[in-house]
Structure 1
Amino acid sequence: MDEDNIQDDIRIYTERRWLRFSSGSYFPVYVLLAASYLLILIYFTIGLFKVFPCGPDTRQWEYFYGKCYYFSLETASWMQAKARCEEKLSQLVVINNTAEQNFIQTRTRNDRYWMGLTDRDREGTWRWVDGSDYNTGFMHWKPGEPNNDGHGEDCAHVWGNGEWNDVYCTYFCYYICEKPLPIRIKGHHNRALSVP
């Protein structure tokens, strides 16, 4: 008989717990837990794009004022650097203003880095790779540069304390690529497109 009483007590206890759960006493707790997990997931996703604004697959890119910049770890000639930037769906950097110049200057740490400026097509006629107007745009040449120096110095790089210098295009140095901040496409949370 004691076994029957124990089984009845277990059955009654189980029924009461089920009634309590089904009547909604635990339901709000589960809803709050689910909402908390959802908020954590959203916060993590937003945080990921703040940490990697150039996209989660571009950790080596640095964000500055609406653009993404890649500072190479390997050296290349100017043409190789241009091609490598294009492979990354970007271009050699075009320096448009003092703020961008200062960002690049502090980031390059006195090493030499190619930028997207050349007079290869016509000596003395400097052109940016994106077609920006060189003559009315920002400039930061080292005093006495560009000078061509009789060696066919047709490509520009940032060097020394951030000043620009012209040098022969087959010289090997680091390079800087730039691209616009990617646009997120609704429904494709892992894909990002760059604006051409």
Structure 2
Amino acid sequence: MDEEHLHDDLHVFEDRNFFQLKLRSFFTVYLLLALSFLLNIILFAVSLSRVSTVSSKLNEVRPEEKQNFSGRDSLLFPCGPGSREWEYFDGKCYYFSLTRTSWHKAKAQCEEMRSQLAIINSYAKQNFVMFRTRNERFWIGLTDENSEGEWEWIDGTDYKTTFTFWKEGEPNNSGSNEDCAHIWISGEWNDVYCTYECYYVCEKPLPD
């Protein structure tokens, strides 16, 4: 074998070694990428499992927290933590509106809040409402629309045998269309036409 042939053989050998080294390098890189991908999947699965476990534990704790919060809050907000605009008095909750409207719209708005226009059937409740209305006019749940002169509480409370607090000379049905009652400036009751716009008082029982 002459020197030229030996040189060619060495060159071929070197090329093969270089090619093999390249293959090994690519193989190593792909193997590392595959292992990295597999490791990421494992870490994701472990993280997901931990999140699921923590979420499950939180769901177990939350009902107890809600119960404790409800018990704590009931002393400050007996009408419910979500009904802080309602005021408690003598076993019931009362809402004093901030806007004026007609009697029928006031009645509907109370019903939308699962309540009714206030029924004032005792002197104690009259004092509570009278003090809270602060010399403004507020609708109550009293009307004689069905039969003139036959006043009725909207919840069926017997009007004839319960407390009343009419202003002197009222109800007088002035103009022959005063069919709805409201609390006047002095806290006494007055009959007025039902389309008159004033504030209103809603009442509802305590939440279960």
Per the TM superposition, whether the score is higher than 0.5 is yes
**Amino acid of the structure 1 residue aligned with 2:182:** H
Structure 1: runs of 5 or more not aligned? 1-39, 184-196
Separation of aligned partners in 2, 1:115 and 1:170? 14
Q: Map of 1:85-164 to 2, 5 A cutoff?
A: 85-164=110-189
Partner of 2:4: none
Partner of 2:76: 51
Partner of 1:19: none
Q: How far off is 1:47 after superposition?
A: 2.9
Separation of aligned partners in 2, 1:82 and 1:44? 32
3-state secondary structure, aligned to 1:177: strand
Q: How far off is 1:151 after superposition?
A: 4.0
Give the 4+ runs in structure 1 shifted more than 3 A. Answer: 40-45
Partner of 1:174: 199
- Per-residue Cα deviation, 1:12-39 (whole angstroms, up to 9, x for no partner): xxxxxxxxxxxxxxxxxxxxxxxxxxxx
Q: How far off is 1:176 after superposition?
A: 0.3
Partner of 2:23: none
Structure 2: runs of 5 or more not aligned? 1-64
Separation of aligned partners in 1, 2:69 and 2:179? 47
Separation of aligned partners in 1, 2:70 and 2:161? 42
Partner of 1:23: none
2:90 counterpart (39, 61, 65): 65
1:76 counterpart (101, 120, 124): 101
Structure with larger Rg: 2
Root-mean-square deviation (CA, aligned residues, Å) is 1.7
- Per-residue Cα deviation, 1:47-104 (whole angstroms, up to 9, x for no partner): 3111111111101000000000000001110000000000000000000100000000
Separation of aligned partners in 2, 1:89 and 1:41? 23
Q: As a proportion of its length, which structure holds more helix?
A: 2
Q: How far off is 1:181 after superposition?
A: 0.8
**Amino acid of the structure 2 residue aligned with 1:85:** C
**Amino acid of the structure 1 residue aligned with 2:155:** D
Partner of 1:25: none
Aligned CA distance change for structure 1 residues 169 and 42 (closer, same or farther; 3 Å): closer
**Amino acid of the structure 2 residue aligned with 1:70:** Y
TM-score, with structure 1 as normaliser: 0.71
**Amino acid of the structure 2 residue aligned with 1:167:** V
3-state secondary structure, aligned to 2:175: coil
Q: How far off is 1:46 after superposition?
A: 2.8
